[in-house]
Structure 1
Amino acid sequence: MLGPYEAQIRSWLEAEPTLSAAVVLQRLMNVDQTRFTNKSLRTVQMAVKAWRQESALENLNGDWMTPVLPPAKSFGNILR
């Protein structure tokens, strides 16, 4: 349903990161009134959430997976 409009939606979200799914749906309804109705809101909400999560993970570049540990010799003091 959203496939043909994915690039457009993503560009809207990049330009306006706080854009709500309801506003995205309104814009889609303006573009194609026969395809989108108010009943499409949940579909748009799920897609926007997924794209935001994807974008957040891409922005982290995997840095979130790097553990932050104290130097090895400080463990000796903890174990004594």
Structure 2
Amino acid sequence: VGLLRNISGICASAHTPFIAAASPRLFRMDSWQELPNPQDLQMIVSNPAYASWQSLRESEDARYIGLTMPRVLARLPYGSE
């Protein structure tokens, strides 16, 4: 979180976005394959252990940070088969 805070400050100065892949550990998962399992993500990030994360999210410079997750295939694409 400290590194993201520093990067967000640099990006704010340059008015340039920073996009990176989020780790599944951010949501207390070992892999993104666990994402469909029922869990309350809001409860996880509301935990006091995430205070620095919440502080980063509330900062002005956080708007320059974008964290992505892997693509999700909701259904197979339409095709000839």
When the two structures are superposed, what TM-score results if normalisation uses the length of structure 1?
0.32
Larger Rg: 1
Q: Which has the higher strand share?
A: 2
Q: Which has the higher helix share?
A: 1
When the two structures are superposed, what TM-score results if normalisation uses the length of structure 2?
0.32
